């Protein structure tokens, strides 16, 4: 054991005051006494230096921890949708105040109810994307070790969605799109446009599916962020994190195990670009796409995709 | 009859929003989950906005927001953290033992200090973060955490010491040994 050899009780007294000295909480006279002792005591000076070093290391590490960029915006959005618990410039008698209090309780209750319900609804919609990621990409492992050629992926997607391939690849820095196809989760007629990418040591899915009248909550205060006018939602479902958004006709999801922050960040890049690309493909190209798809299916080109354990088909999501 | 001056959300944002990073930092280190920290900070701002009529202009908005943060944190703690209270650490022993501590590394890496901080019991961690990172005074910390001033001092002292001990473990891992000249007789 290492024990300090104190020459006097002075060291003991000063050492007990070092924490308060470090926090600038000592009286001026006491600070002066401590300083005087430190000038003549190497052991106590070293002790102080060690404590200062730890404090500075904490402050340095703290300065590097920054909130996600979208946090300030998310707070502002929620603030503007929340009903404050007071009414500026309001004059009232006591009975009016009582009524106002009652109304406030109801309003806060409704707000809380809407918020809780909104969160549940977000989770239920985002589950659509997570289920396809888990079934198709993770469990069935429907992707090759070496990326399929872009021509083959465009063929699998069909003309309506082929144009999305460069959009997805371009907005996923650090990832390589290995596979793209139309697929389905067993027991569910819903179909998905599914891009599977690899990067950062994991597999990530970008998934689109038609909304079919469903919608994320109108009470947008549950949104995590907005990107290019598109609201982004997030959830953590099991080990998977997901960020979702909606366009006029589709839900979009970005799913992986990289955490919700990262999913929201990637979705922020993808959502406006995919919305624009889907908007373009929903017009005149759609009629041509249908004609092509019929020919595509009749020619049996999708047969290769229907191996056991895979639910893919080259059809437009229904 | 009463009359309140009209307050708009822009006033609130002007005084409150500059503190988002500080609150997020503190919340992250206390709940140890970035997603939970984000939610917590958002809820702090909602609650602060709803009670903004009680905030006195010109007073310390940052301290007020931290009070709300810790109020919510303590609610969370009741659910999540009760098991990790270490009363014995708080009440036990001489806070500034005269036994010389092993040396902390000369250069402390961010990862090492953050890992050491995460290992502190929450009672100590929150006081260390408030004092050493947020640089609140003892009085402000006592008011924010609703604990006596003496408890602030003892938790800070104990928390800092635990932090140094954790870092000393890192130093030993790097092969740094205690200085020989500290050896001597017991005081």
Q: Give A-chain residues touching B132 at CB under 8 angstroms.
A: 55, 58-59
Preferred mutation among A8, A48, A49, A57 to probe B, highest tally of B CBs within 10 A:
A57
**pLDDT tens readout for residues A47-106:** 899 899 999 999 998 888 889 888 888 898 888 877 554 544 444 456 677 777 788 877
Are the C-beta atoms of residues B168 and B104 closer than 8 Å to each other?
yes
Which chain A residue has its CA at the smallest distance from B34's CA?
A: A261
For A117-127, what is the mean pLDDT? 74
Which chain A residue has its CA at the smallest distance from B113's CA?
A: A58
A58, A67, A83 ranked by CB distance to B117: nearest: A58
Q: Do A88 and B1 touch (CB under 8 A)?
A: no
Q: In whole angstroms, give the CA distance from residue A316 to residue A183.
A: 10
CB proximity list for A109: less than 8 A, separation 6 or greater: none
For A251-258, what is the mean pLDDT? 92
Q: Which of A228, A254, A258, A259 is nearest to A243 (CA)?
A: A254
Are the C-beta atoms of residues B38 and B24 closer than 8 Å to each other?
yes
Helix (H) or strand (E) holding B107: none
Q: Give B-chain residues touching A62 at CB under 8 angstroms.
A: 25, 133
Residue listed under structure tokens 């009070």 = B67
Q: Do B138 and A23 touch (CB under 8 A)?
A: yes
Any chain B CB within 8 A of the CB of A54?
Answer: yes
B-proximal residues of A, 123-182, CB under 8 Å: none
The sign one gets for the Cα dihedral A251, A252, A258, A259 is: negative
The length of chain B, given as a count of residues = 187
- List, for chain B, all residue ranges whose pLDDT scores fall below the cut of 70: 1-6, 78-102, 171, 174-187
Preferred mutation among A1, A20, A44, A54 to probe B, highest tally of B CBs within 10 A:
A54
CA distance, residue A238 to nearest chain B CA (Å): 14
Q: Say what the pLDDT of residue B63 is.
A: 93
Q: Give A-chain residues touching B158 at CB under 8 angstroms.
A: none
Distances (CA, A) of A207 to A67, A144, A190, A282, A317: 28, 18, 12, 17, 11
Q: In whole angstroms, give the CA distance from residue B60 to residue B55.
A: 9
Any chain B CB within 8 A of the CB of A94?
Answer: no
Report ipTM (2 d.p.): 0.80
Q: Say what the pLDDT of residue A113 is.
A: 66
pLDDT category, A232, cuts 50, 70, 90?
confident
For A280-296, what is the mean pLDDT? 51
Q: In whole angstroms, give the CA distance from residue B133 to residue B25.
A: 9
CA distance, residue A68 to nearest chain B CA (Å): 9
Q: Chain A to chain B, count of Cβ pairs less than 8 Å apart?
A: 167
Q: In whole angstroms, give the CA distance from residue A8 to residue A226.
A: 65
Long-range contacts of A94-103 (CB under 8 A, 24+ apart): none
Alpha-helical runs (H) found in chain B: 9-16, 20-31, 34-50, 61-80, 87-91, 110-119, 122-128, 138-145, 149-173
Which chain B residue has its CA at the smallest distance from A18's CA?
A: B157
Q: Do A60 and B98 touch (CB under 8 A)?
A: no
CB proximity list for A50: less than 8 A, separation 6 or greater: B101, B103, B104, B164
- State the DSSP code for A236: E
Q: In whole angstroms, give the CA distance from residue A161 to residue A153.
A: 10
Q: Say what the pLDDT of residue A201 is.
A: 87
Any chain B CB within 8 A of the CB of A13?
Answer: no
Q: In whole angstroms, give the CA distance from residue B177 to residue B67.
A: 42
Preferred mutation among B8, B11, B49 to probe A, highest tally of A CBs within 10 A:
B49
Q: Say what the pLDDT of residue A316 is.
A: 43
Q: Do B49 and A79 touch (CB under 8 A)?
A: yes
Q: Give A-chain residues touching B157 at CB under 8 angstroms.
A: 19
For A126-147, what is the mean pLDDT? 86
Preferred mutation among A62, A68, A259 to probe B, highest tally of B CBs within 10 A:
A62
CA distance, residue B145 to nearest chain A CA (Å): 17
- List b or e across A18-30, with b for residues whose CB sees 16 or more CB atoms inside 10 angstroms: bbbbbbebbeeee
Are the C-beta atoms of residues A39 and A14 closer than 8 Å to each other?
no
CA distance, residue A153 to nearest chain B CA (Å): 35
CA distance, residue B155 to nearest chain A CA (Å): 11
Q: In whole angstroms, give the CA distance from residue A175 to residue A205.
A: 11
**pLDDT tens readout for residues A185-211:** 777 778 899 999 999 888 999 999 988
Mean pLDDT of chain A: 78
Are the C-beta atoms of residues A155 and A288 closer than 8 Å to each other?
no
Helix/strand number for chain A, H first, E second: 10, 7
Q: Which two tokens stand for residue B31?
A: 């709940």
Are the C-beta atoms of residues A177 and A168 closer than 8 Å to each other?
yes
Are the C-beta atoms of residues A264 and A225 closer than 8 Å to each other?
yes
């Amino acid at each position: 054991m290492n024990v300090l050899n104190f020459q006097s009780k002075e060291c003991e007294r000063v050492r007990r005051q070092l924490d308060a000295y470090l926090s600038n909480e000592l009286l001026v006279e006491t600070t002066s006494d401590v300083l005087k002792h430190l000038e003549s005591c190497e052991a106590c000076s070293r002790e102080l230096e060690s404590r200062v070093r730890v404090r500075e290391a904490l402050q340095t590490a703290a300065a590097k921890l920054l909130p996600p960029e979208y946090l300030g915006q998310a707070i502002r959005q929620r603030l503007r949708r929340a009903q404050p618990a007071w009414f500026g410039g309001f004059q009232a008698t006591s009975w009016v105040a009582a009524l106002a209090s009652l109304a406030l309780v109801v309003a806060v209750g409704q707000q809380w109810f809407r918020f809780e319900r909104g969160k549940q609804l977000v989770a239920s919609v985002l589950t659509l994307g997570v289920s396809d990621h888990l079934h198709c990409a993770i469990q069935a492992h429907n992707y090759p070790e070496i990326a399929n050629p872009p021509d083959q992926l465009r063929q699998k997607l069909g003309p309506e969605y082929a144009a999305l391939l460069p959009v997805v690849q371009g907005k996923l820095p650090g990832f390589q799109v290995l596979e793209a196809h139309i697929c389905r989760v067993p027991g569910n007629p819903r179909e998905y446009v599914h891009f599977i990418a690899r990067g950062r040591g994991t597999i990530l899915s970008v998934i689109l599916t038609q909304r079919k009248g469903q919608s994320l909550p109108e009470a947008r205060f549950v949104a995590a962020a907005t990107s290019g006018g598109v609201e982004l939602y997030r959830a953590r479902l099991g080990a998977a994190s997901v960020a979702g958004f909606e366009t006029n006709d589709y839900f979009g999801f970005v799913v992986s195990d990289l955490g919700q922050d990262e999913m929201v960040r990637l979705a922020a890049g993808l959502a406006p670009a995919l919305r624009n690309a889907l908007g373009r493909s929903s017009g005149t190209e759609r009629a041509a796409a249908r004609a092509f798809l019929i020919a595509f299916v009749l020619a049996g080109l999708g047969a290769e995709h229907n191996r056991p354990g895979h639910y893919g088909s080259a059809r437009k999501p229904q | 009859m009463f009359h309140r001056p009209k307050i708009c959300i822009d006033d609130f944002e002007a005084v409150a929003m500059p503190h988002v990073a500080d609150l997020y930092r503190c919340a992250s280190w206390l709940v140890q989950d970035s997603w939970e920290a984000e939610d917590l900070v958002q809820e702090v701002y909602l609650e602060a906005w709803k009670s903004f009529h009680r905030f006195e202009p010109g007073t310390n908005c940052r301290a007020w927001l931290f009070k709300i943060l810790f109020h919510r944190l303590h609610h969370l703690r009741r659910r999540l953290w009760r098991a990790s209270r270490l009363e014995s650490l708080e009440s036990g022993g001489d806070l500034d033992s005269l036994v010389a501590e092993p040396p902390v590394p000369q250069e402390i890496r961010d990862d090492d200090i953050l890992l050491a901080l995460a290992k502190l019991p929450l009672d100590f961690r929150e006081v260390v973060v408030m004092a050493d990172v947020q640089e609140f005074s003892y009085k402000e910390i006592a008011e924010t955490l609703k604990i006596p001033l003496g408890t602030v001092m003892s938790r800070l002292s104990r928390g800092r010491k635990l932090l140094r001990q954790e870092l000393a473990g890192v130093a030993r891992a790097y092969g740094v040994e205690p200085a020989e000249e500290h050896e001597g007789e017991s005081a």
